Structure 1
Amino acid sequence: MSALGGARRLARIALNATDPERLAVFYRAALGFRDAEAIGAGPARVVPLRLGDQRLDLVAAPDGRPYPGEVPGFSPLFQHCAIIVADMAAAHARLSAHPGWRPISTDGPVRLPAASGGVTAFKFRDPEGHPLEFLAFPPDAIPEAWRRPRAAGPCLGLDHSAISVADTARSVAFYESLGLSVVSRSLNTGPEQARLDAVLAPTVEVTGLGFPDGRPPHVELLCYRGDHPRPVSDLAVGDVAATRLVIAMVDSEALAAACATHAGRLVPAGSTSQPATGGAALLRDPDGHFVMLTPG
């Protein structure tokens, strides 16, 4: 459905922050992000950052609700950014040298079994509460996109943004209609996953959704099986937890077609002071996560 949906790539991920300039200091010092060129215009303050080839915007949300505590992975509010690291020990040590963050994983970095990808991972929260993840691939299983000369620090770039969903099939159908396609599936469980997520006995359907250009970052769906509480998301666009996937469509016609298909999911213009490039549209996915579509 990629050719029909019109999605081109995940242009950037936007995180709200009560103080984006202060949060940017942490991202630069602890994670190796660098300043990037601003895109578009709008009334809100934006600190544009880059890690490798991937973009992350920190958007001012001074009047929004703060991140709501220790949101678990199965909550519909949960959405994290995964950072590829060349050296997990070095990345963890650099992070540990800076204050303000707090761990999600209960016992440091954890090596997942082969059935769950065999990666070494560590989840934590930035100083404003946004979940983040370090990922290190096994030396013999590094994807082509991450086989490149080492960067100045251990953190190489953004691999994906993972969102918690209640129904994998429903969410796959939504994102396929935009032009993404399923590129991977796994069922993650066991004590390693429990330590990584700080969730008791988790069984997680992990579905990777890629873009036509095949470049990172991509999107991952996390569907926790079992009787977990999943309240309907009540996030407003200006809340700190209201992370946005910014998807570049091939052109304005593709964007208009996506808006027509999902007219009931559009966030009305004027309901937020968040910045947008000309002609952009904001949608809520089936679980309430925000998706911004931009032309070209």
Structure 2
Amino acid sequence: MTGRPPAALRLARIVLVAADPDCLASFYREALGFTAAEAPPASDLPGAWAQVVPLRLGDQRLDLVAASPPGRPYPGDVPGFSPLFQHCAIIVSDMAAAHARLSAHPGWRPISTGGPVRLPETSGGVTAFKFRDPEGHPLELLAFPPDATPAAWRRTAPGGPFLGLDHSAISVAETARSVAFYESLGLRVASRSLNTGPEQARLDAVPDPTVEVTGLGFPDGRPPHVELLCYRGDLPRPASDLAVNDVAATRLAIAMRDADAVATACAAHAGRLVSGRTVPRSGGGAEALLRDPDGHLVWLTVNRPADDARP
């Protein structure tokens, strides 16, 4: 036994590519309760960013970035089973109040039909509502039943019903293949469910869905985590052709134990490296940008000691 911490420590932030980060940030602040966050050092950012607008909701971070050169806009109403689909789930303490505040602001579009949906107990018993922000990124409002609220969300927020980011969910073609990839980085399966029925159809706007939902957690058990969404059936799943500067090219920024852990991940997935190599950073840091088996972008990063506080 070495006593070394696991390779993957936490989901440090979620990074959304935006055509106009300032305008989109106004929507996130006014409609969803986000606040401004401290900007990360330029050396901690992957790729060439023209602009970074860092946001915070509770203890979680969301960065809105403009790529240089800019890429393609979000490609329309991508369904939940598409390899392009990736949403951020926002925990709310009061779904009616959260939905009302969202509804008071223009620019967003619903995914769910008929408003918030209460899922059956077999699907977690949560109340949920999926929609798209003004640039097309999918989002979800999520409220737990009062008697089944995880400890991390048993609180209120002074700024309204929006508490924080619970997870980022990605659509995958094969659960086992994706679990193997993320477990190789240090994540572990924390939950599994099979969601189906008319409530799931309303939530996803997908006829007669059967969805394998697999939660992948980090060592400390704190949010946000990663969820895999695998829709069963013969569904059109064209290969992802995302470029790193496209608006749909969301990144999961995973803080790794050290540079050796990043190098090990890159060696294990050499064919998935976007940059083709691990990029060392000043002060002992490192980073690498990978594609998972379905094309979702995963940014592995090691903070310098001075930057190692939980975001």
Would you call these one fold, judging by a TM-score over 0.5? yes
Aligned runs of 1:1-296 on 2, under 5 Å?
Answer: 6-41=7-42, 43-44=48-49, 45-61=51-67, 63-268=70-275, 279-296=286-303
In the alignment, the residues of structure 1 paired with residue 209 and residue 237 of structure 2 have an alpha-carbon distance, to the nearest angstrom, of: 15
Residues 235-267 of structure 1 show CA distances to partners (whole Å, capped at 9, x for unaligned) of 000000000000000111111111111111100
After superposing on structure 2, the runs of 4+ consecutive aligned residues of structure 1 that deviate more than 4 Å are none
In the alignment, the residues of structure 2 paired with residue 4 and residue 48 of structure 1 have an alpha-carbon distance, to the nearest angstrom, of: 28
Task: Name the residue aligned to 2:307.
Answer: none
- Contact conserved, 2:93 with 2:156, CA < 8 A, in 1? no
Secondary structure of 1:280's aligned partner: strand
Residues 153-190 of structure 1 show CA distances to partners (whole Å, capped at 9, x for unaligned) of 11100000000000000000000000000000000000
In the alignment, the residues of structure 2 paired with residue 213 and residue 59 of structure 1 have an alpha-carbon distance, to the nearest angstrom, of: 28
Secondary structure of 2:202's aligned partner: helix
Task: Name the residue aligned to 1:274.
Answer: none
Task: Name the residue aligned to 2:281.
Answer: none
**What count of residue pairs does the alignment treat as equivalent?**
288
In the alignment, the residues of structure 2 paired with residue 4 and residue 285 of structure 1 have an alpha-carbon distance, to the nearest angstrom, of: 23
In the alignment, the residues of structure 2 paired with residue 101 and residue 70 of structure 1 have an alpha-carbon distance, to the nearest angstrom, of: 12
Secondary structure of 1:77's aligned partner: coil
Residues 119-176 of structure 1 show CA distances to partners (whole Å, capped at 9, x for unaligned) of 0000000000000000000000000111124332111000000000000000000000
In the alignment, the residues of structure 2 paired with residue 173 and residue 13 of structure 1 have an alpha-carbon distance, to the nearest angstrom, of: 21
RMSD in angstroms over aligned alpha carbons? 1.5
* Structure 2 residue ranges without an equivalent (≥5): 278-283, 304-311
Secondary structure of 2:234's aligned partner: coil
In the alignment, the residues of structure 2 paired with residue 4 and residue 234 of structure 1 have an alpha-carbon distance, to the nearest angstrom, of: 35
In the alignment, the residues of structure 2 paired with residue 256 and residue 50 of structure 1 have an alpha-carbon distance, to the nearest angstrom, of: 30
- Contact conserved, 1:40 with 1:278, CA < 8 A, in 2? no
> For residue 56 of structure 2, what is the amino acid of its counterpart?
R
In the alignment, the residues of structure 1 paired with residue 254 and residue 155 of structure 2 have an alpha-carbon distance, to the nearest angstrom, of: 25
Task: Name the residue aligned to 2:309.
Answer: none
- Contact conserved, 1:119 with 1:136, CA < 8 A, in 2? yes
In the alignment, the residues of structure 1 paired with residue 235 and residue 276 of structure 2 have an alpha-carbon distance, to the nearest angstrom, of: 34
In the alignment, the residues of structure 1 paired with residue 265 and residue 202 of structure 2 have an alpha-carbon distance, to the nearest angstrom, of: 39
When normalised by structure 2's length, the TM-score is 0.90
- Contact conserved, 1:5 with 1:177, CA < 8 A, in 2? no
- Contact conserved, 1:104 with 1:196, CA < 8 A, in 2? yes
